[in-house]
Amino acid sequence: MSTDYQTARETLGARLRELRLAAGLTGRGLAELLGWSPSKISKLEHGRQTAAGGDVQAWTRACGAAEVADELIMQLRTLETHYTSWRRQLATGTQARQRAFHELERRSRALRNFESACVPGLLQTPDYARYILRRTVELHGTPNDVEAGVRARVRRQELLADPHRRFEFLLWEPALRLLICPAEVMAGQLDRIAGLIGTGTVRIGIVPTNIEVTAVPTHGFWIFDDELVLVETIGAELRLADADAITPYRRVFTELGRVAARDHAARRVLARIRRELPIP
């Protein structure tokens, strides 16, 4: 999933190397000029480390090419826009991340979401959201503002009542079985989803595990107005705005939607999963 990001990082590194060679500098010589370790020069040139804006400015000045700094910094910003680590996004807590996501949702009219591992934030109960955000804070070691994050996530759900928007969710059955929370909390979450099926702006489909599919549900993703795809990996968030990159996600969503259980059939799947919960 990070292929596009890594390619862009390697491209930037190759450009930095070109500037060094054009200046007649060795890697060690440039490192001495900048007061860096030679290993940092090597990592930046080979795309094993992402340059900071200050790194780019210092590099171009040392190579006598300060005039290209702005161009390379713009390239760097584009790279960062495509792939941003969770630790960076959550540096000020989960509430800020929820607000940023809400702004993206608010600017969109048609939102499609496929989830393979957990219930989407816009469908989560407060109790379920609390466990999700708690796991996130524990994993990334970010500020613990879980309760504020839960409140912000619940406020995002007000958009579901907006008659001028359309939401379509496809949930892979394992996402409804994974107990990242107590079984009792999961039961309430399943009831919440069942209650949303058939409501005005929300369309929900469940992709069962016992049917043949023509698209592999590798990971979850959001599609915003056919203009942006957002993918949440374990370590970072990937954003794709190029039409060629968006097309495969549209196709996968369409194929999974074709075989998804909906309406009464979806409620039957939810009821079956609920009956099988290990509730004493």
Q: What is the pLDDT of residues 135-166, one digit of tens each?
A: 999 999 999 999 999 999 999 999 999 999 99
- Sequence spans of domains, the chain: 3-83, 90-275
Question: Tens digit of pLDDT for each residue in 108-137?
Answer: 999 999 999 999 999 999 999 999 999 999
Interatomic CA distance for residues 103 and 156, integer angstroms: 9
Question: Tens digit of pLDDT for each residue in 244-278?
Answer: 888 999 999 999 999 999 999 999 999 999 999 99
Comparing 15-19, 79-83, 91-95, the range with the smallest average pLDDT is 79-83
For 275, the 3-state DSSP assignment is helix
pLDDT higher than 60, residue 4:
no
pLDDT score at 1: 40
Interatomic CA distance for residues 1 and 221, integer angstroms: 11
The pTM (predicted TM-score) of the whole model is 0.75
Contact 148, 93 (CB under 8 A): yes
CATH 3.30.870 fits 90-275, yes or no: yes
pLDDT higher than 70, residue 5:
no
3-83 homologous superfamily: lambda repressor-like DNA-binding domains (1.10.260.40)
Residue with tokens 């030679």: 38
Contact 173, 193 (CB under 8 A): no
Question: Tens digit of pLDDT for each residue in 42-63?
Answer: 999 998 888 888 999 999 999 9
More confident: 244 or 96: 96
pLDDT higher than 70, residue 168:
yes
User: For residue 249, which of 229, 232, 234, 233 has the smallest C-alpha distance?
Assistant: 229
Question: Tens digit of pLDDT for each residue in 59-77?
Answer: 999 999 999 998 888 777 6
- Please provide residue 21's backbone torsions phi and psi, each rounded to the nearest 5 degrees: -65, -40
pLDDT score at 80: 60
> Mean pLDDT over all residues of the chain?
92
pLDDT score at 2: 46
